[in-house]
Structure 1
Amino acid sequence: MSKQKVLIICYYWPPAGGPGVQRWLKFVKYLPDFDIEPIVYCPKNPNYPITDQSLVNEIPDDITVLKHPISEPYRYAKLFSKKNTKTISSGVIPEKKKQSLVEKLMLYIRGNFFIPDARKNWLKPSVNFLSNYIKENNINTIITTGPPHSLHLIGLQLKKQLGVNWLTDFRDPWTTIGYHKDLKLTTVSQKKHIELERSVLNTSDQIIVTSHHTKNEFETKTKQPIAVITNGYDSHSVVLKNKDAKFSLSHIGSLLSERNPKVLWEVLSELIKENKDFANDFELKLIGIVSEKVIASIEAYNLDDYINVLGYVSHNEAIHAQMASQILLLIEIDSETTKAIIPGKLFEYMQSKTPILALGPNDSDVEQIIKTTNTGTYFNYNSKAALKNQILSYYKMYKKESLKACPIGIEKYSRKQITKQLSELILANN
């Protein structure tokens, strides 16, 4: 029996780095196991803020990858400010009080002239190219994944023109995402975003989201079916020789300006002052893009001598760091809008069997996952005393060489298991 063909329209694809690329790279890897043939469509000349060449080796050899040129404003914006362009395109939006005139102008242009995002110019050429390909290759189902949410507009046009089955995958929300309010949107622009979001949600045959909070939000906006398929973890061949000798607290991934847990820096500073052994053993490792505001905040709490900023590393190096660290930090902005955000790294954190120390808003999806899987502890930003006691408790276990996590039921988050869920949705909508 021949496999069912599915066209996957995505922006982030190897050599793009970061968690956004891995969700669909892994889906593509496992879909053939469920009698589905994925065909990937992505940009030929993308402007990725970070790259990871090691991910190229994970692309299955027998997968068809279609590429078509894209015109991106970030490429031309570099002529004015290379640094500002790279940070803004990475999602690192400078603090309002410290934004330069160039940064303010770039954010205004990005928010009001490129709706829904800076990849909007790929819409028309993609629809023209894919319309012919879909008809010539008898493809009945397409999937669009965003952000960038402009890719959903490609699906919207193909749905209207060809009547294909259309699944939309929202890795993050659209109009309620945290940085949306920082784009200096006019009233007209904000209304346009809402209209486009409504059109996509009400036209799509099946909506996929990564968290229950996003599902609850979208259920107030559409009657179309919505399914939660989280991110997950994949098996790996990284072999750990030794844990870090230091009592290392490691954050792996981007630390944006607003994702700055001052209460954590304060607690660590106090523990260093109060406990000489702790001071001798402690190390704070930051692996990934870190905003200048976060670094300045850490230094303000006199943690200069304890911080180790490693910058962006390959996926394999990140996995090794997860396994070698004594504690893994997961930090989210203390906001109502971030309750729905489940960082992809959470699931790899869980597989590492390294205890997770998480900070975020009350009643988030992350909090529920950590508690139900017994993979760590979760605190809100008002729990200073409890946070301090927990770190001290972890440190005592570290000294006794008994510090480790004992996960429960994380198998349902394996990449193959969640791909099975996706395959069932695809077949149900055929």
Structure 2
Amino acid sequence: MKKVLIITYYWPPSGGAGVQRWLKFARYLPENGWTPVIFTPENPEAPVQDYTLNNEVPDKAVVKKLKIWEPLNLYKLFTGKSKKSTLNAGFLEEENSNSVAKTISVWIRGNLFIPDAKKYWIKPASKYLINYLKDNPVDLIVSTGPPHTMHVIGNRVSHKTNIPWVADFRDPWTQIDFYDKLKVSRFADLKHKRLERKVLSEADKVVAVGENMATEFRKIVDRDIQVITNGYDKADITTEHIQYPEKFSIVHVGSINADRNHSDFWASLSFCIENVEGFSDDFELILVGKNDVSVTRDIGKYGLSKHVNFISYIPHNEVIAAEQKAAVLYLPLNNTPNAKGILTGKFFEYLASGRPIFAIGPKDGDLAHILKETGAGSISDFEDQEGMKKDLITFYKAFRNKCLTCKSENIKIYERSELTKKMVELFESVL
């Protein structure tokens, strides 16, 4: 069997969205003739721990770990957080924080830690891998980011060993939704962009998870960018009979940061509660995951508190089963310049659940295209409150009439096993 070295920051028992893509590829690589060799930090900073994910690591996988030093404890001390606290991604704040300390720390993050706060792992990780590969050769190297430090490591190791290298982007680099919040100076911006261009130019293949992201990369470098989306694992789908929901339950799985917190959504729910007969009695909103302080504030502001059930975390092996029990699945995108290209991993698991999706985002983006292609739900623009009300009422009336269903047509192409075959074809093309 051929071997592929996968350089990733996220690996079980780390939970959350970042771990899923390459855990699932690794799961199906052996049946496609490739042995995954995982290189990951021994002590990463993970927002959640999910030990059930260890069960998905294939027996044939080789996992190598190396300690990483990150300046996170300094950040926690500076911003008044405890050492045991975990840090959230995407500028999600669960409580009000010291604004001055936060502003300074964000400036340091954007201007001194380039490409990110994992940068101190670049030299030791590169040295370790170059030595390891002398006695343990592989056919191919893959780096997956963010954090984009993984790409810098992949670039260095490939250069020193002459092993082909694939750079896989789960999110953009300088086009990511929070880049403008990093308060980067002109000098730092140029350094970020030089590194980004270097990775995009020197990788043997570049992979993006969506068409819009690939288009933005092509504006930086004139080359082919392969699109291989995220997906769902058919092994995660329960075969048990799911009863029709007793409540008009709208479920969201994952974090909601400030950019995903849309006031028009809360206002639309409030309108339906006050004006649609039966809605108040039937409705419940279930939020699974961490939420920005602005979310809890708006829920109170619009008088929705008694209808909301907060659940901190569900192990990934229970997620789709929980989604299948929902009446409607809520999917808000970040209201940021790159919104057209956002395709979250949970979207594909939503597709697999067979429940209708109520999305908020650009009606000409990647998400809207797949929703239309599959007939899996509706999408309203960020400030289209009338459209949101109309869709909510349509879903509710169908619920009351016991006919709230979802087409979810032609979704097999998003199965993880099928996507792994596509990734393997790319591997073979590189060799």
Q: Shorter-chain TM-score: which interval?
A: over 0.9
Which of 14, 20, 23 is the aligned partner of 1:22? 20
User: 2: CA distance between counterparts of 1:350 and 1:395?
Assistant: 20
What is the letter of the counterpart of residue 38 of structure 1? P
User: 2: CA distance between counterparts of 1:131 and 1:224?
Assistant: 28
Q: CA RMSD in A?
A: 1.8
User: 2: CA distance between counterparts of 1:382 and 1:101?
Assistant: 31
User: 1: CA distance between counterparts of 2:336 and 2:146?
Assistant: 20
Moved more, 113-122 or 134-143: 134-143
What is the letter of the counterpart of residue 48 of structure 1? A
User: 2: CA distance between counterparts of 1:336 and 1:88?
Assistant: 24
Flag the 1:221–1:98 CA change in 2: closer, same or farther, 3 A. Answer: same
1:152 Cα deviation after fit: 0.4
Partner of 1:226: 225
Secondary structure at the aligned position of 1:169 is classed as strand
Q: Is the 8 A contact 1:74 1:89 kept in 2?
A: no
Secondary structure at the aligned position of 1:79 is classed as helix
Q: Is the 8 A contact 1:84 1:103 kept in 2?
A: no
What is the letter of the counterpart of residue 319 of structure 1? I
Normalised to the residue count of structure 2, the TM-score between the two structures is: 0.95
Moved more, 122-131 or 332-341: 332-341
User: 2: CA distance between counterparts of 1:64 and 1:138?
Assistant: 13
Alignment of 1:341-380 (within 5 A): 341-380=342-381
User: 1: CA distance between counterparts of 2:40 and 2:97?
Assistant: 35
The answer to whether residue 328 in structure 2 is matched with residue 323 in structure 1 is no
Alignment of 1:263-412 (within 5 A): 263-412=264-413
Deviations 1:339-371 (A, max 9, x none): 111010011100111000000123110000111
Partner of 1:54: 52
User: 1: CA distance between counterparts of 2:106 and 2:361?
Assistant: 26
Secondary structure at the aligned position of 1:339 is classed as helix
Partner of 1:148: 147
Moved more, 149-158 or 72-81: 72-81
User: 2: CA distance between counterparts of 1:412 and 1:252?
Assistant: 23
User: 1: CA distance between counterparts of 2:282 and 2:100?
Assistant: 43
User: 2: CA distance between counterparts of 1:244 and 1:233?
Assistant: 23
Q: Is the 8 A contact 2:30 2:60 kept in 1?
A: no
Deviations 1:142-200 (A, max 9, x none): 00000000110001111221221010000000001011111121221111100100111
User: 2: CA distance between counterparts of 1:240 and 1:302?
Assistant: 35
**Equivalent pairs: percent with the same residue?**
39
Flag the 1:289–1:51 CA change in 2: closer, same or farther, 3 A. Answer: same
Secondary structure at the aligned position of 2:25 is classed as helix
Alignment of 1:70-81 (within 5 A): 70-80=68-78, 81=80
Q: Is the 8 A contact 2:250 2:284 kept in 1?
A: yes
1:247 Cα deviation after fit: 0.4
Q: How many residues align?
A: 427
User: 2: CA distance between counterparts of 1:85 and 1:387?
Assistant: 40
Deviations 1:303-352 (A, max 9, x none): 11111111222112322221111000000123331211101001110011
The answer to whether residue 35 in structure 2 is matched with residue 34 in structure 1 is no
User: 1: CA distance between counterparts of 2:116 and 2:84?
Assistant: 14
1:92 Cα deviation after fit: 2.7
1:5 Cα deviation after fit: 0.9
Flag the 1:374–1:267 CA change in 2: closer, same or farther, 3 A. Answer: same
1:204 Cα deviation after fit: 0.5
Structure 2's unaligned 5+ residue stretches are: none
Secondary structure at the aligned position of 1:116 is classed as coil
Partner of 2:67: 69
Secondary structure at the aligned position of 1:178 is classed as coil
User: 2: CA distance between counterparts of 1:86 and 1:208?
Assistant: 33
What is the letter of the counterpart of residue 182 of structure 2? L
Partner of 2:171: 172
User: 2: CA distance between counterparts of 1:73 and 1:316?
Assistant: 32
Q: Which runs of structure 1 show a deviation greater than 4 angstroms over 4 or more consecutive aligned residues?
A: 83-89
Partner of 2:196: 197
Partner of 1:130: 129
Moved more, 240-249 or 167-176: 240-249
1:223 Cα deviation after fit: 2.9
Structure 1's unaligned 5+ residue stretches are: none
Deviations 1:227-280 (A, max 9, x none): 000000002253355344210111111100121111111111011111241111
1:224 Cα deviation after fit: 3.5
What is the letter of the counterpart of residue 106 of structure 1? S
Q: Is the 8 A contact 2:252 2:286 kept in 1?
A: yes
